[in-house]
Chains A and B, each alone.
Chain A
């Protein structure tokens, strides 16, 4: 079964995403509350994909992505941003990073897994 690491500082969103991906999507889900946790977890048990919130206290999403891609142990893991895309110009800023895709909040819990698969299939060689 494919493994996804969901990173979000909001407990409600983490739980909804977990249920949605496990029950509807058929993924194995691990959770992280912030950037530091996520980097630790990714090194320990590299997932197949990381679903990463952007606005988080401490190390934010963009910074987390940079650290992951500079680490040879995690640089290969595809990262998808999960964003409310509310800030002006945020979309453009995120598109300039090495993330493989964006999923907008609020997402549809019934199609979240599908959305991840669609993005990943588009990035395959």
Chain B
């Protein structure tokens, strides 16, 4: 401890004063340095809105120079649109003595708008005039701009989703509904807009199982699930038909989707039109078949001699009439087939089958015709499984074989090839190719050839006996299965017709247990 008697009393007084003055000077200097070097604006404001003091940074943010700012007021720097609100808030803070915290805009003399975050606390010393508020001001223009951009983007996306006529619902991987739009709630007639709450049935009228909903399929398989026809019960309009699709949503590189978005639209009217069209074709076809039955029967009996001998000339004419009648009957049958397939009314009964066995069956049906034409059919082996409508795909294959054989020179071969790992489509697809060595299809007609009644050569319908609907039927059938069909040139001459079919989903393959599912999935994938 230092004894108090070391210095004389007079000296002691002046030394203390000196120390105190020195201390004040240091404090003042420290204070000034801090104020001027501060990275945020600092101010001392009065009750009337005048700024008694502002630091350099404050001026910089406000876009003013210290010298020119003789009697700075908030009113002179705040954006005119924000002045009234800001002043009201400031006044209230003065009155209540509360802390103040607010964002508002400044307008610089150069016309630049800046967002600032202002905070202040009550400040008073004994001197009455110094009563006011002490605070900070930060330039937050960049943050506000980013927030505004985000909000605008959010508003845009929201308004797009809200105004869409398609229903949208988003389902999380754990099953809970994240979001739905007004169209979803309207289309489903449920307050949630969740397809699962809508007592939905499949195209065949049977209740959909939990795992059959598009979002559930997308979440389970990680693949999109497209164009599932679903019926829902509308409390006012009765049964409505929707087409629903779902896409898995992934974050970054994650393998498993975190959610699935399901979209659906109303196809009730479209189905009604399809049904009417189909009914119309059915009735017309029926009406045509009745007289055709008489004509075919009568001609058949006459040409066979059942009604007596004919002269050579009459026999020839009757044969022509009989052949033309047969062609007309084929045409009516094909039109009816096409109308049925295109209307999609017949809920396709699809089964999981071995594609190799299916192709062999189609070939064996068609073999007699090919043999008659002196053409060999070579078929690839495969054990791939597809979920298809058997009759539809057999008809497609026989139609394509018939086409290939028709245009092949006698003694040549038609190949039915299978490509289990096509590179053009995704990994869940298998490619079937019908390859002939005929005259080929001109490059400018490879697309038109699938259009009904299109013939490469106008004399073909006469000479080759086709109706011009065979390939259109194939196209409709393949597309209804979710596949594609197209025509290529066979290297070295001839035409190759290619169609794809989706491979059986591992879950729908009746034999695969959950343990084998991943296995099959990998094998079906591109190597």
**A associates with B:** yes
Asked, given contacts A10-B290, A19-B306, A86-B283, whether A106 binds B297 with beta carbons under 8 Å apart, the answer is: yes
Spot the interface stretch: A27-35, A66-74, A107-115: A107-115
Q: Which of B293, B301, B343 contacts A106 (CB 8 A)?
A: B293
Shortest CB distance A8–B (Å): 9
Q: Which of A15, A23, A88, A107 contacts B306 (CB 8 A)?
A: A23
Q: Which of A24, A87, A109 contacts B296 (CB 8 A)?
A: A109
Judge if A119 is at the interface, Cβ distance under 8 Å: no
A6 to B300, CA, bound (A): 19
B293 contacts A105, C-beta separation under 8 Å = yes
**Binary flags per residue of A68-95, CB closer than 8 Å to B gives 1, else 0:** 0000000000000000101111000000
Question: Which residues of B (243-290) have their CB < 8 Å from a CB of A?
Answer: 278-279, 282-283, 285-286, 289-290
A26 to B273, CA, bound (A): 48
A88 contacts B285, C-beta separation under 8 Å = no
A109 contacts B282, C-beta separation under 8 Å = no
Judge if A12 is at the interface, Cβ distance under 8 Å: yes
A107 to B285, CA, bound (A): 15
Q: What residues of chain B lie closer than 8 Å to A105, measured between beta carbons? A: 289-290, 292-293
B294 contacts A88, C-beta separation under 8 Å = no
Q: What residues of chain A lie closer than 8 Å to B286, measured between beta carbons? A: 55, 84, 86-87
Judge if B298 is at the interface, Cβ distance under 8 Å: yes
Judge if B345 is at the interface, Cβ distance under 8 Å: yes
Chief secondary structure at chain B's binding surface: helix
A36 to B289, CA, bound (A): 24
A24 to B295, CA, bound (A): 17
Shortest CB distance B345–A (Å): 6
Judge if B65 is at the interface, Cβ distance under 8 Å: no
A87 to B339, CA, bound (A): 11
Q: What residues of chain A lie closer than 8 Å to B306, measured between beta carbons? A: 19-20, 23-24, 109-110
Q: How large is the interface on A (under 10, 10 to 19, 20 to 34, 35 or more residues)?
A: 20 to 34
Asked, given contacts A88-B278, A88-B345, whether A13 binds B294 with beta carbons under 8 Å apart, the answer is: yes
Q: Which of A13, A15, A24, A107 contacts B290 (CB 8 A)?
A: A13
B289 contacts A24, C-beta separation under 8 Å = no
Shortest CB distance B254–A (Å): 46
Q: What residues of chain B lie closer than 8 Å to A17, measured between beta carbons? A: 297
Q: What residues of chain A lie closer than 8 Å to B298, measured between beta carbons? A: 12, 16, 109
B307 contacts A110, C-beta separation under 8 Å = no
Q: Which residue, A16, A24, A110, has most C-beta atoms of chain B within 10 A?
A: A16
Judge if B336 is at the interface, Cβ distance under 8 Å: yes
Question: Which residues of B (330-345) have their CB < 8 Å from a CB of A?
Answer: 336, 340, 343, 345
A19 contacts B307, C-beta separation under 8 Å = yes
B283 contacts A13, C-beta separation under 8 Å = no
Question: Which residues of B (309-366) have their CB < 8 Å from a CB of A?
Answer: 329, 336, 340, 343, 345-346
Asked, given contacts A55-B286, A88-B340, whether A110 binds B293 with beta carbons under 8 Å apart, the answer is: no
**Binary flags per residue of B143-184, CB closer than 8 Å to A gives 1, else 0:** 000000000000000000000000000000000000000000
Question: Which residues of A (1-55) have their CB < 8 Å from a CB of B?
Answer: 10, 12-13, 15-17, 19-20, 23-24, 55
A20 to B286, CA, bound (A): 22
B304 contacts A107, C-beta separation under 8 Å = no
A106 contacts B292, C-beta separation under 8 Å = yes
Judge if B3 is at the interface, Cβ distance under 8 Å: no
B336 contacts A86, C-beta separation under 8 Å = yes
Judge if B8 is at the interface, Cβ distance under 8 Å: no
Shortest CB distance A27–B (Å): 13
Q: What residues of chain A lie closer than 8 Å to B307, measured between beta carbons? A: 19, 23
Shortest Cβ-Cβ A-B pairs, 5 listed: A16-B297, A12-B294, A86-B286, A106-B293, A109-B300
Given contacts A105-B289, A106-B296, 12 further A-B pairs with CB under 8 A are: A12-B298, A16-B293, A20-B300, A20-B301, A23-B301, A88-B278, A88-B343, A109-B297, A109-B301, A110-B300, A110-B301, A110-B306
Q: Can you offer 26 A-B residue contacts whose CB atoms are under 8 A?
A: A10-B290, A12-B293, A12-B297, A13-B290, A13-B294, A13-B297, A19-B306, A20-B297, A20-B300, A23-B306, A24-B301, A84-B286, A84-B289, A88-B340, A88-B343, A105-B290, A106-B293, A106-B296, A106-B329, A107-B293, A107-B296, A108-B300, A109-B296, A109-B300, A109-B304, A110-B300
